[in-house]
């Protein structure tokens, strides 16, 4: 009898192990499927938006009519050359509005690229701050990671910020890692007077930066504007990757 009980107990334990392995495999499979769905959804939205990307012409500027028809919160379009960053920019009532919402207003874990709600909607501030989720395979602002590499940073400095009434050429001049609590990055009100605190932080903390450009900006008497692009990073708790670019009026406009 005891041998029968032991055999039954072993069979039961084997069944539990098999079921546990099956459940673990099922969960892993679902997690992989769900992750792929998130990335596929983000790519589908980007593909549909690229069809509506404003075309810059010397005579008429850039038309935002189609984008604004999709969502009136669209305020600009940002592109960084040789990256996957090529997106419309939205601005919500708060910085939570588009953190998990796509340009169509639908729930999306990938969220949208959005302008800090405290910034001027028309990009007249000295410093404007953009946010985007860090995603693998370069989706959303995942490609900001590329600028951590010295060679890529040195060879890729250009981009464009398109607004309904004007266009800026972007000149990337620094990449840094900071904490999410760093006021010199995440408090736009500090820039109402000058940008010296931001430039000092750049000199102290940047992984790579153009010293000549920082000096030029410091001596520009507040006339030059800066665009900050921010995303999450994994180097330490609450780490953020920040790419800094000067906004230069497009030479053709």
More confident residue, 159 or 6: 159
Identify the pLDDT of residue 230.
Answer: 98
Interaxial angle between packed helices 196-205 and 211-218, expressed in degrees from 0 to 180 and rounded to the nearest 10: 160
More confident residue, 40 or 97: 97
Confidence of residue 48 (pLDDT cuts 50, 70, 90): confident
Mean pLDDT, rounded, for 113-119: 97
Torsion-angle region of 250 (φ positive above 0: left; ψ -120 to 50: alpha; else: beta): beta
Identify the pLDDT of residue 1.
Answer: 54
Identify the pLDDT of residue 77.
Answer: 97
In 72-227, which ranges are continuous DSSP H helix? 150-155, 183-186, 196-205, 211-218
Cα separation values, 186 from 20, 79, 117, Å: 46, 22, 11
Is the pLDDT at 17 greater than 70, yes or no?
A: no
Residue range 72-99, pLDDT digits in tens: 999 999 999 999 999 999 999 999 999 9
Is the pLDDT at 146 greater than 80, yes or no?
A: yes
Residue range 190-225, pLDDT digits in tens: 776 678 899 999 999 999 999 999 999 988 866 789
* Whole-number average pLDDT of the chain: 85
Identify the pLDDT of residue 220.
Answer: 80
Identify the pLDDT of residue 14.
Answer: 64
Mean pLDDT, rounded, for 4-20: 61
């Amino acid at each position: 009898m005891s041998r029968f009980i032991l055999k039954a107990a072993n069979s039961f334990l084997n069944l539990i192990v098999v079921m546990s392995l099956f459940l673990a495999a099922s969960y892993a499979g679902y997690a992989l499927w769900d992750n792929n769905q998130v990335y596929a959804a983000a790519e589908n939205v980007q593909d549909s938006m690229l069809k509506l990307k404003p075309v810059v012409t010397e005579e008429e500027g850039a038309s935002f009519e189609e984008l604004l028809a999709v969502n009136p919160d669209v305020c600009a379009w940002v592109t960084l050359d040789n990256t996957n960053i090529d997106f419309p920019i939205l601005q919500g009532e708060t910085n939570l509005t588009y953190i998990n919402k796509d340009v169509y207003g639908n729930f999306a874990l990938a969220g949208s690229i959005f302008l800090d709600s405290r910034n001027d909607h028309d990009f007249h501030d000295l410093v404007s701050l953009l946010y985007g989720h860090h995603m693998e395979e370069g989706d959303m602002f995942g490609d900001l990671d590329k600028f951590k590499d010295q060679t890529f940073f040195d060879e890729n400095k250009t981009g464009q910020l398109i607004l309904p009434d004007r266009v800026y050429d972007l000149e990337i001049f620094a990449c840094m890692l900071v904490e999410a609590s760093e006021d010199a990055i995440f408090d736009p009100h500090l820039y109402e007077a000058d940008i010296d605190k931001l430039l000092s932080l750049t000199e102290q903390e940047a992984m790579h930066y153009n010293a000549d450009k920082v000096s030029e900006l410091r001596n520009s008497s507040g006339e030059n504007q800066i665009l900050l692009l921010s995303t999450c990073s994994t180097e330490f708790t609450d780490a953020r990757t920040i790419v800094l670019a000067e906004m230069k009026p497009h030479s053709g406009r």
